[in-house]
């Protein structure tokens, strides 16, 4: 199936001394690399090696996404991490929303192969009681109206699907469960950004992560001027700058 024009992957091998460090960035549920490309470009401009892959079923159609599972989304990131580990001395992972959950899972599975995590409005659960019916609904309904483009900044488009694929959402709920169960395995440094107004992911996800991980180097930054897709919103420059500084500090290299 053709990939939408805005959904192309982005990669940069890195330049100068900072090329010894690689950064893997993951977009969110029903989104595409579009939401992470400016972030990746900022890190690439600082010389870091960067990979912003497209997860299966994303950037094409919600119908195709309904035929994919969290294990397939994870496998793409897992393979990309393996490649980055071969090409760079250190690797950091960055995730938005569901991408945050997937990168947490990577950190649970790969331990010290990952030097640090940057999480932007990560999701590991929902407070929406209606999702208790999801196993039944997913058998009879293909989709619901989507929740996308939650961006405060005028005129900015995320390019996510306008429908919520229910079978894919059911698979996401399984990812949430397995990731929550292993959060104590997280020992890497964590930088977590959370929007104070988020119409997609409730604050409980961030609270669960921070109260369950074993990391000692943890920073939570509240974003006062952005909604859910903060990587494209008013606080994006702060996210990019603080994240580059985080990577620079932990790798012993200059930040952006």
Catalytic amino acids? 97, 198, 228
Residues 6+ apart with CB under 8 A from 57: 64, 65, 66, 67, 68, 72, 73, 165, 168
CA separation for the pair 168, 25 (Å, rounded):
21
> How far is residue 100's CA from residue 92's CA, in Å, rounded to a whole number?
12
Beta strands in the chain (DSSP E): 10-12, 21-26, 49-52, 90-96, 116-120, 143-145, 163-165, 190-195, 218-223
């Amino acid at each position: 199936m053709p990939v939408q024009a805005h959904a192309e992957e982005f990669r940069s091998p890195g330049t100068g001394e900072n090329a010894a460090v690689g950064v893997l960035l993951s977009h969110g549920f029903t989104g595409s690399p579009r939401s992470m490309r400016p972030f990746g470009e900022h890190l690439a401009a600082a010389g870091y090696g960067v990979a912003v892959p497209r997860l299966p079923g994303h950037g094409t159609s919600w119908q195709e996404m309904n035929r994919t599972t969290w294990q397939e989304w994870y496998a793409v990131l897992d393979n990309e991490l393996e490649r980055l580990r071969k090409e760079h001395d250190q690797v950091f992972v960055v995730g938005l929303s569901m991408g945050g959950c997937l990168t947490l899972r990577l950190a649970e599975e790969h331990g010290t192969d990952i030097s640090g995590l940057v999480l932007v409005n990560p999701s590991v659960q929902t407070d929406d009681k209606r999702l208790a019916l999801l196993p039944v609904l997913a058998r009879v309904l293909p989709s619901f109206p989507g929740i996308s483009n939650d961006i405060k900044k005028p005129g900015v488009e995320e390019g996510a699907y306008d429908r919520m694929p229910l079978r894919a959402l059911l698979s996401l709920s399984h990812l949430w469960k397995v990731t929550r169960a292993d959060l104590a395995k997280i020992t890497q440094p964590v930088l977590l950004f959370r929007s104070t107004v988020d119409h997609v992911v409730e604050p409980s996800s961030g609270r669960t992560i921070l109260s369950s991980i074993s990391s000692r180097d943890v920073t939570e930054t509240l974003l006062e001027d952005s909604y859910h897709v903060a990587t494209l919103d008013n606080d994006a420059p702060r996210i990019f700058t603080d994240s580059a500084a985080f990577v620079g500090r932990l790798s012993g290299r200059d930040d952006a």
